[in-house]
Amino acid sequence: RTFLVKIFYNLFLKIDDSTLKEIFQRVASTEKLSFMKDAFRLFLSHFVLKNNRPVDEQENNPTIRRRCQTAIDILTSSNNI
């Protein structure tokens, strides 16, 4: 897997839910980061959440999938504010 995918896997596994939400809420609420927010949302949905060919058990981990979806939801909901 790519370097960035591995970073997100480790991030989703090693931090707690409240910290995860805080990180993505900060990105989502900053207007200057709107391009990055959209890029993260697309990257997470395409390369992390909808990974159809897992290479190892880590990629099937339900915690990763749940936290990835939480991050996507936060990034998406900020578009409607």
Per-residue pLDDT for 81 more than 80? Answer: no
Give the pLDDT of residue 53.
Answer: 53
Q: What is the DSSP string of 32-72?
A: GGHHHHHHHHHHIIIIIIT--S-SSGGGG-HHHHHHHHHHH
> What is the radius of gyration, based on Cα positions, of the chain?
12
Three-class SS state of 9: helix
Tens digit of each residue's pLDDT (9 = 90 or more) over 6-62: 999 999 999 999 999 999 999 999 999 999 999 999 999 999 887 645 566 655 688
Give the pLDDT of residue 52.
Answer: 46
Give the pLDDT of residue 20.
Answer: 96
pTM greater than 0.85 (yes/no): no
- Comparing 52 with 69, the larger pLDDT belongs to 69
Identity of residue 48: V
Domain residue ranges in the chain: 3-80
